[in-house]
Amino acid sequence: MNAESLVRGIGMTSERTRRRLIEQLRAEGIANEAVLEVIARTPRHLFVDEALSSRAYENSALPIGRGQTISQPLVVARMTEAVLTGPRLGKVLEIGTGSGYQAAILAQLADQVFTTERIGELARQAKQRLHRLKLHNVFVRHLDGRDGWPSQAPFDAILVTAGGQVPDALYDQLAEGGVLIAPVGEPGRVQHLERVVRTADGLERETLGAVSFVPLLEGLD
């Protein structure tokens, strides 16, 4: 993490605008101050098209091309808070890099982030943004994330940023005590955010609330 470069990156955006977003997240129940601080200093406007940069600090999802979106900040905060079981994470796997914004948030709270994206164009753009911000502990691969990243398993946390059914391969790559969070349910229908913890006895599941994500698809593009 290079906090100084992140702070410089958001210099064009008013402190008031960013703090308004943080207060909205806090009002929605986000209580982890480390998560809130990381979101406050991460330049979300760099992860959207320049034409949408004026809306970057709204609490809303925005299009990033190829039928994909950058998640609503509240959802990013909720997913991050849900997997952060201590002051810092070890190895994290993200399925669905998209713009790279969620990975940038995770990179400041984890030792290593491994993130997969099935759309090559988005993977390349995300890699460039993360390099620009000097977040060198993020590793991006153009990969069908349904198979996870076996060579780097097990992971302390796994985040799936596309909706559907979670492949068994991802559960298999979760370390004991690790947390997986994913939107479960078919896109266009009711989806819910599910938090799964691997214990010595198996998997413990908890539902965190309704969400709406693009579908988890197979293959590369």
Kindly give, in sequence order, each residue whose CB lies less than 8 Å from that of residue 193, ignoring residues fewer than 6 positions away.
75, 78, 79, 82, 181, 182, 183, 184, 207, 208, 209, 210, 211
71 is an active site residue: yes
- How far is 3 from 38, CA to CA, in rounded Å? 9
Contact 204, 197 (CB under 8 A): yes
**Cα-based torsion angle of the residue sequence 118, 122, 125, 127 in order, rounded to the nearest 10 degrees:** -30
Catalytic residue selected from 14, 54, 60, 71: 71
Per DSSP, the three-state class of 215 is: strand
Nearest by Cα to 154 from 170, 137, 138: 170
| Residue position matching structure tokens 């849900």 | 82
Task: Note whether 92 and 170 are within 8 A (CB).
Answer: no
Look at the block and give the residue holding tokens 């579908």.
215
Enumerate the active-site residues. 71
